[in-house]
Amino acid sequence: MKIKYIPVFTDDIEKQVAFFVENMGFEFYGKKSLLPDQESVLIRTNSPDLFIVILMDADKEFGRGRIIVNTHDCLNDYHNLKMAGVVFHNEPHYLPMGLGAEFYDPSGNQYLLIEERSYNNPV
């Protein structure tokens, strides 16, 4: 088994798609019905078999998600995302699992940009 879809809930699909395409550099992939009576939008990530599924959350039935985005260079990606208009909650800082920074998308979903590091092994 493997994870194929990561759900992201929104009140404004167009705004959410623009965030992923214009700010994050991902690709609009199309529309698909994954849940009964609910159309969703697929966003292709940088991983060929992993998609973000944007779902309407008009009834606030679901809570907002927390998505972890792995990077090989947190400082570089932090800078590039800021230049693309992403507003960060904090600057990159050291966490137990590596160097990370948090941001939110326009719908309130929380993201952690993380460069995983092992503090037990010398570099």
Reported as a single tens digit per residue, the pLDDT across 81-120 is 999 999 999 999 998 888 999 999 888 888 889 898 876 7
Closest CA to 42 of 5, 86, 67, 1: 5
Q: Is the pLDDT of residue 47 over 60?
A: yes
> What's the CA gap between 108 and 78, in Å, rounded?
19
Residues 13, 28: contact at Cβ < 8 Å? no
Q: Which pLDDT score is estimated for 35? A: 62
- pTM above threshold 0.75: no
Residues 5-116, CATH architecture: Roll (3.10)
Q: Which pLDDT score is estimated for 121? A: 63
